[in-house]
Amino acid sequence: MLSEPSTATVRATLPAVGAAIGDIADLFYRKLFDAHPELLRDLFNRGNQASGAQRQALAGSIAAFATQLVEHPDTRPDVMLSRIAHKHASLGITPAQYDVVHTHLFAAIAEVLGDAVTPEVAAAWDEVYWLMANALIAIEERLYAQQGVVAGDVWRDWEVVSRTEETEDVATFRLRPADGSPAPAFRPGQYVSVQVELPDGAHQIRQYSLSCAPGSAVRSITVKRVRGGGAPDGEVSRQLHEQVRAGDRLRVSAPYGDLVLKSAEAPLLLASAGIGCTPILSMLEHLAESGHGTPVTVVHGDRSPADHAMRTDHAALAGKLPDSAAHFWYEDPADGHPADRTGLVDLSGLAIASGTHAYLCGPLPFMRSVRTQLLAKGVAASDIHYEVFGPDLWLAS
């Protein structure tokens, strides 16, 4: 891990770097995109750049990694690294791109911190960077090998077989490889990247969970149209909703993602909110098809039954399991909905089996709340797993 001299230097400078890391990340991206505008056009999420979410996630992950190196030198933040590596693999990131990032990141560090960046400080933080980068490169190489692809070549053309309107703002697209070859295997809970050409010629990429079970003959992604509410609408979701129909083609990556079922024997709690139900539905369909027998508690929160995408499937799949219970909370419920299932998800009245493994997907406030409630009920922190749609501002915070 980090060498002894560099450990002392990083520990001494971490407060100053941490205090400036937001400014460093902001300047880094400006330098990167000035030198390589094609990266903003065809690789990075322009919406996350405009909102500042990606800059915040980058700053947090670097600070978290450096803190781990100096505070816990005998361990590595593998959860954070795995999550980043899966996202990178779905984008086809190559080792050479880490050199490009290094160039502009360290130029930003030098400019923001000025004379404080002595040769010793630069060398220590260079060591931090390459420890993180090389760890990610190694994980990404394994992920590419598992899918039988190479870095930078994760894309295939897929044909849209059908499209189903789930709610006013949610549509499911069923896909198959355009060349007739078998669809790559995936694990329930994983996602694919989808690359869409926009009217301005940009090829923007977004990740969408596979909402079907691995045994399905076709693959399904369920896409919520992102409405800006004062900010711009989501570019890719708008294009998919307005333009893509059966017979069209999409560029789709190999499947990746680390929110996958870890144990076939433990009791499960599958909790989602909003469009976060999509990986959960994949898990439920898989559990139903495989004859899963241990207890499964299904929890979902939404604005209303009309907003609950694939609500019928959600309840039906849970009902196929021999020992399961489904609990749906709505902020604006229909007449007759139970009062204790009105409002935000509240686990206080639910019995959580000992040894439960929990899988969460939804907005950060929802996941923070559910995680807090699960910890209070005795669920081990290591047995609570989650997926964030977009930059992981929770893990990096």
Q: Which residues does the annotation mark as catalytic?
A: 98, 140
Instruction: Give the C-alpha separation, 21 to 4, whole Å.
Output: 23
Q: Token pair of 295, please?
A: 């207890």
